[in-house]
Structure 1
Amino acid sequence: MNQVVSKSVLYIMLTLGALFMLLPFVWMLSTSLKPSHEVMVMPPVWIPSEWKFENFVVAFEKAPFARYLWNSIVVTVLSTIGELITTILAAYAFSKLKFFGKDILFSILIATMMIPGEVLLIPNFVTLSNLGWIDRFEALIVPWTASIFSIFLLRQFFMSIPNDLHHAAAIDGCNDFRFLWQVMVPLAKPALITILLLKAIGSWNAFLWPLIVTNSTEMRTLPVGLTAFTTEAGTNYELLMAASTMIIIPMIILFIILQKYIIQGVARAGIKG
């Protein structure tokens, strides 16, 4: 009986926690469908008296969202591909190859994760400015084609693969590069999809860095484009929430499709340290 009560309490707490986490998304969707006079009223209106689906059309037309969408797709796809390539190569080197100073170098890389990203904003901006990359795709993509966390995650996954497999492949005449792409990468599919999803979400939702390194409307991404709904006269919250909904939906769909791989990738990555 005690076990049943414990499980019931646990499920109730998890359900309440899930509802609490979903509350902002429900409010965003509700606000995106409201007429303007119901957005800021008290007490709050959860169900609009009139469903204003045209808010989505107006939001899309108010700013050049087609251009923002294209920029976000380009940045997300290219930075994700770049990170996958650098992560696979670095993780394989740190997990299976032997070279001088490997452990020390890896420790230094892990230590850099303790540096707040905000500290690096000015040095990175100055570097890109000297290269002439400000307000160009290079500034939005190149600095984010490598991730220490992704390297660490994939390295842990690669280390869970027995070294005997590597030795057997070497005896059969398989070189390191071929073994990596034909054996290790297919085995690491869950971890790679986890890295892909986390990177895609992070790149798609990035706001501060694109805001800093872009000056023109033609180079803005979707999150930065949301500032179009905030003016000196105030904020059009119903349009802002409609645009936010359009931005979030692709990532929600991607997460729902690939969520099982996240659990597999994170679980297996912790098998061997």
Structure 2
Amino acid sequence: MKNNITICDAILKVMYQCQIPLSPQEVYRQIVEQNLYEFHAQKPDHIVKGTIRRHCQDLNFPSAREPKYFGMTDDGKFYALENNSKNQLYEKTNKEQINTDKQKVKEIKDINETLNQIKQIHTTYRDLLKKHILSDLKNLAPVSFEIFAKNLLEVYGFEKIQVTSINNDGGIDGYGKLKVGLAYMKVAFQCKRWIKTSVGRVEIDKFRGAIQGDYEQGIFFTTSYFTEGAKKVSIKPGAVPVILIDGLSIVEMMIEKNFGVEIERLPLYIYALDEIIS
């Protein structure tokens, strides 16, 4: 900046900033502190004083010059005239800088608002997608839903899963093994592809009765939801635990494992220039 301004520009800038009359020595110190101008003189403070005096409207001597940029107070201090051309230029430049800063603030605000809108749209889209998936699951044939549950359990690490015959399922729809530590746990599952009817305690008790003694854990799938009574009896002391997985939980599991759900990556760029220049 100091290569582009004159000594008068530097003096005026200091006066505009301070907004009070200053002595030539005070102006000089501010110019040096702010590194506004590169002096080429043995006594630069005298240059500042001489420049102010030559362009002061209240002083008249042979070496005085036009135009007049400064005025003088009764105590010998100086101030910038309000109606001089450099003041108008300074105000214009300052106004342009303010407008530029406002524009940058607006741009940043617009970017942040757009980013928030994208996040809100993503949340809305995800909710709509989950509802659509659940609707399709409810429309599956019972056998297809059992096969779906089998394949979902395999994604979560279950092994040797078998879907039982519809006419001879013994109260269960399938079974398999899950490795826990060094051992394998025998697990059975039941599927209820219900659209609106909730799964109550009676269904959980029936399923537990069918697996008690033969299996170490039960998993109950439904495209509907479980009543509070069903939730309370899912885990009972001395009885086989039954894990309850309702429709929304099934969909969440699908999304978590990308099971029947494909992901399309849309790059979302976050501006972070400061990190590479700091």
Asked if Structure 1 and Structure 2 have the same fold, meaning a TM-score greater than 0.5 normalized by the shorter chain, the answer is: no
TM-score, normalised on structure 2?
A: 0.21
Highest relative contact order (Cα 8 Å, sep 6+), 1 or 2?
A: 1
Larger Rg: 2
Greater share of helix residues, 1 or 2? 1
